[in-house]
Chains A and B, each alone.
Chain A
């Protein structure tokens, strides 16, 4: 299982938790399983999120590998000017 740290504003959709555990070997699987476990997250994940894996921010790549040893954070999608 991968522990995913959520930003606090998402607690409303995860039974008050800001850390949840889901299966997944890469970003795409983790995001998909997050939506399965917590359907309230679907709109936010669909709108675009980034995932930080051991500090490296993955903005798009659903194939980026994740292991249970990684520190994983869900972040709002990074964009800029």
Chain B
């Protein structure tokens, strides 16, 4: 659907939301950072400079698994221009839990756990000298056995990566590399399988993929001997950077002030901390500001890709399409550290279906790879790939329509979710109905083409949020939020503030505040920003409106309750309140210093009403059976946004999820050699999609309001990447005539599947 045709599906977004008759929300004004970004004026992580600044570089392990016997920094320190060298000895000690894991990843202690693991760092007067100094740091290693494959890491003879860290919930007898376990579900799956007319059971694998943000990690840090410091960095969450860095370098949280730069993409990958503590430690030692910018190769080797996965799925179905039972096992490796999102794979896997009998199991497995980081709806896309492939296979074998079958089994309000609780108001059925009604679904296919359908699910999140909304004397608004703008959120926040205050969108300037300016703000993750910071903005604007009404009431000499705020003006609430002309915002703010002082609205809370979200994708793919090359020729995303604040940005999130899903499904993968080293460390070899790989991606915005948000907003940033892997795999499998059970479906893998099929 073209944007100029945008209209909410499902009878309009007014259903169930507390506000109606939007004037600003739902329009598509220009983004406030647009000119800065197209003219190069916007300042990203690497654009920060400070007088006397040093440049840093990191010494990284070339080995997948090795004992660090000795680090000799003397030659590097003797090089002209080198001002500091740090190793693990220069960081805090006695850390526990996740802080210990982060420090271990930021700087290895006595063991290098993966190819690219940091073991030392240098700061010098130029980037060139720093890189030369890296080569002079002598590290003596003792090589250890390594394992990078998720299934092999669970085998009895696999090398133990970190002994004794498994949670108590892990079943007895499992390899020490299995560190966490999840099991959930309800009903009796064996009974359900016995009732089925057809049971399909299959095994699937997906490789690790990187978030592929364009801007490598970068920061500028300064830390004095008094423990006071500053960090400028590209991050999805600067309060988290503040907290983690304070722990890792051993200073008080409030002594570190962190400012988030503009961010060139994150997608979850910049929710983690990698280089900022290193720059701070170097700065403390050199007593100078230190800038640290990762190369692309470092980003791929040493920041978090998503997990690779090995999955078994079993689903039983009646001839009419009713699912009788579903079972899944999800094994995810998350690098050499606990945290692979296997519980989310398990919990999301069957969430689209109303199931009487369901069971899901997850294993978190260590391997000699970098510490995984979140990537849009972590754990859900690979689970959807496996589950929706089996649903597709069942539909094919029982000659059932894939959308009708999904509608028959779809979760709806009141359904007991596969992970436990009952759903509130949700929009899966509406996305399926909109997909069925879309011209794409019935359009004829060309020769060699196949069509795939998939649904997907993500939870969404609220989280700690603080917002401040300050009124200026001229009645314009300075809105300060603490969630880095990774998807156009400054525009959405400005629109919600303008909507509440009844003023033009252009009269609101939204700024991403630093950590010294607002209370704690959780990371921009979990599709939470438009939901949580948006809710906080609305509440802060309401707080300001209340104060504006109080000033008008005082001026008029009437009760505050007798004043209402409408269309940017204070007005008497009715004929009994008195006969006063409306008082516009600028007339109140002009004299606010003399009528009680500055007017500022605040909101600080942890919103807990983030509504879950569903999507349905339709994909047409064409497979060249001679070369194995796949072309995605048509793509339609249908997703529930609750309420689209800025429909262009919602559409962008939908298209971005689909584009990244195309890369994950067809080409992107971490390729490790026998030596455990990553083989494809640049974008020439790690192949993300470029414009010529993508079709125009059509979108349909469904709006089933989230009752937990004043305007009905649901997060949209993550759900869009849940269905693509499966929808593309189903389309490719239909086009190729053979089921593709491993991602990426690169040309060699498709040719191999075709060859196996022809062999018999």
Residues of A within 8 A of B (CB): 5, 7-10, 12-13, 40, 43-44, 47, 52, 54-61, 64, 71, 73, 75-76, 78-81
> Chain B residues with Cβ under 8 A from A55's Cβ?
421-424
B457 located at the interface, meaning its Cβ lies under 8 Å from any Cβ of chain A in the complex: no
A55 CA to B460 CA in the complex, in Å? 14
Q: Evaluate whether A81 and B606 lie within 8 angstroms (CB atoms) in the complex, with A9-B181, A59-B463, A75-B420 already known.
A: no
B610-A7 in contact (CB<8A): no
Identify which of B373-381, B497-505, B506-514, B616-624 touches chain A: B373-381
| Residue of A5, A8, A59, A61 contacting most chain B CB atoms (<10 Å) | A59
Distance between Cα atoms of A8 and B424 in the complex (Å): 23
* Distance between B39 CB and nearest chain A CB, rounded to angstroms: 30
Give the interface centre of A9, A52, A57, A81 by most chain B CB atoms within 10 Å.
A81
Inter-chain contacts of A12 with B (CB < 8 A): 168-169
Closest 3 pairs (CB-CB, A-B): A81-B268, A80-B526, A81-B374
Whether A9 contacts B169 in the complex (CB less than 8 A), given A79-B526, A80-B527, comes out as: yes
Other contacts beyond A80-B268, A80-B461, A81-B374: 13, CB < 8 A? A8-B183, A9-B181, A12-B168, A43-B168, A52-B421, A57-B459, A61-B606, A73-B421, A76-B343, A76-B347, A80-B377, A80-B460, A80-B718
CB distance from B185 to the nearest CB of A (A): 6
Taking each of A8, A13, A52, A80, which has the highest tally of chain B beta carbons within 10 Å of its own beta carbon?
A80
Determine if A81 and B421 form an interchain contact, defined as CB atoms under 8 angstroms apart: no
CB neighbours of A59 from chain B (8 A): 461-463, 606, 608, 610
| A57, B610: Cβ atoms closer than 8 Å | yes
Whether, in the assembled complex, B182 has its beta carbon less than 8 Å from a beta carbon of chain A, the answer is yes
Contact with A along B181-209 (1 / 0, CB 8 A): 11111000000000000000000000000
> In chain A, what residue has the closest Cβ to B271?
A81
| Shortest beta-carbon distance from A61 to chain B in Å | 5
Interface of B is mostly: loop
Q: Is B461 within 8 A of A79, CB to CB?
A: yes
In the complex, which residues of chain B have a beta carbon less than 8 angstroms from the beta carbon of A7? 182-184, 419-420
Which residue of B182, B378, B420 contacts A80 across the interface (Cβ within 8 Å)?
A: B378
**Pair A56/B718 contact, Cβ less than 8 Å:** no
A residues near B708, Cβ cutoff 8 Å: 56
CB contacts (< 8 Å) of A73 on chain B: these are 420-421
Query: B654 near A: Cβ within 8 Å?
Result: no
B residues in contact with A43, CB < 8 Å = 167-168
Complex contact A81–B525 (CB within 8 A) = yes
Q: Cβ of B377 and Cβ of A81 under 8 Å apart?
A: yes
Complex contact B182–A57 (CB within 8 A):
no
Interface residues in B415-461 (C-beta closer than 8 Å to A): 419-424, 458-461
In the complex, which residues of chain A have a beta carbon less than 8 angstroms from the beta carbon of B421?
5, 52, 54-55, 57, 71, 73, 75
Residues of B within 8 A of A9 (CB): 169, 181-184
Report the minimum CB–CB distance from A25 to chain B (whole Å): 17
A72–chain B nearest beta-carbon distance, Å: 8
- Nearest A residue to B342 by beta-carbon distance? A76
Q: Are B525 and A56 in contact (CB under 8 A)?
A: no
What is the CA–CA distance of A40 and B665 in the complex, to the nearest angstrom?
40
The answer to whether B184 touches A8, judged by C-beta atoms less than 8 angstroms apart, is yes
Q: Does B26 contact A (CB under 8 A)?
A: no
Contacting A at CB under 8 A, from B341-397, are: 343-344, 347, 359, 373-378
**Across the interface, do B183 and A57 meet the contact criterion of CB distance under 8 Å?**
no
Residues of B within 8 A of A (CB-CB), count: 48
Mask: chain B, 590-625; 1 = CB below 8 Å from A; 0 = not = 000000000000000010111010000000000000
Let me know if A60 and B271 touch, CB within 8 A. no
Do the beta carbons of A81 and B376 come within 8 Å of each other?
yes
Report how far A58 CA is from B421 CA in the complex, Å. Answer: 12
Closest chain A residue to B413, Cβ basis = A55
B33 within 8 A of A: no
Q: Does B528 contact A (CB under 8 A)?
A: yes
What is the bound-complex CA distance between A78 and B611, given in angstroms? Answer: 12
**Docked pose: A59 CA to B708 CA in angstroms:** 14
Q: Which of B97, B359, B526, B606 contacts A78 (CB 8 A)?
A: B526
Of B167, B374, B608, which one neighbours A79 at CB under 8 angstroms?
B374
- Whether the Cβ atoms of B459 and A80 lie closer than 8 Å is yes
A8 to B189, CA, bound (A): 14
Q: Say whether B464 faces chain A, with CB atoms less than 8 Å apart.
A: yes
Contacts of A80 in B (CB 8 A): 268, 374, 376-378, 458-461, 525-528, 718
The digit string for B522-555, where 1 denotes a CB below 8 A from any CB of A, is 0001111000000000000000000000000000
- When the two chains form their complex, are residues A71 and B608 in contact, meaning their CB atoms are under 8 A apart? no
- Does B565 touch A at the CB level, under 8 Å? no
B185 contacts A8, C-beta separation under 8 Å? yes
B612 proximity list for chain A (CB < 8 A): 57
Q: Complex: how many Å from CA A7 to CA B718?
A: 24
Bound Cα distance A15, B97 (Å): 27
Residues of A contacting B185 in the complex (Cβ-Cβ under 8 angstroms) = 8
Known: A9-B169, A9-B183, A43-B168. A79 touches B525 (CB 8 A): yes
Closest to B414 in A: A55
- Given that A52-B421, A73-B420 are contacting pairs, would A44 and B167 also be in contact in the complex, using a CB cutoff of 8 Å? yes
A7 to B610, CA, bound (A): 21
A44 touches B464 (CB 8 A): no
Q: Indicate if B239 sits at the interface (CB-CB under 8 A).
A: no
Contact A40 B609 (CB under 8 A): no
Q: Is B649 an interface residue (CB 8 A)?
A: no
24 A-B residue pairs with Cβ-Cβ distance under 8 Å, sorted by A, are A7-B419, A8-B359, A9-B181, A9-B184, A13-B168, A54-B421, A56-B424, A56-B608, A56-B609, A57-B612, A59-B606, A60-B462, A60-B608, A71-B422, A75-B421, A76-B347, A78-B459, A78-B461, A78-B526, A79-B525, A80-B374, A80-B378, A81-B375, A81-B376
Instruction: Please report the C-alpha to C-alpha distance between residue A3 and residue B347 in the assembled complex, in whole angstroms.
Output: 21
- What residues on B are CB-neighbors of A13 within 8 Å? 168-169
Tell me how far the C-beta of B299 lies from the nearest C-beta in chain A, rounded to whole angstroms.
16
Query: Considering only CB atoms, which chain B residue lies closest to A7 in the complex?
Result: B184
By a CB distance below 8 angstroms, the chain B residues around A81 are 211, 267-269, 271, 373-378, 525-526, 718
B606: chain A residues within 8 A (beta carbon): 59-61
> In the bound complex, how far is the Cα of B606 from the Cα of A64, in angstroms?
11
Q: Give Cα A41–Cα B702 distance, bound, in whole angstroms.
A: 40
A73 → chain B, closest Cβ, in Å?
4
A-side contacts of B460, CB under 8 Å: 80
A42 to B633, CA, bound (A): 52
A52 to B424, CA, bound (A): 11
Interface string of B460-476 (1 = CB under 8 A from A): 11111000000000000
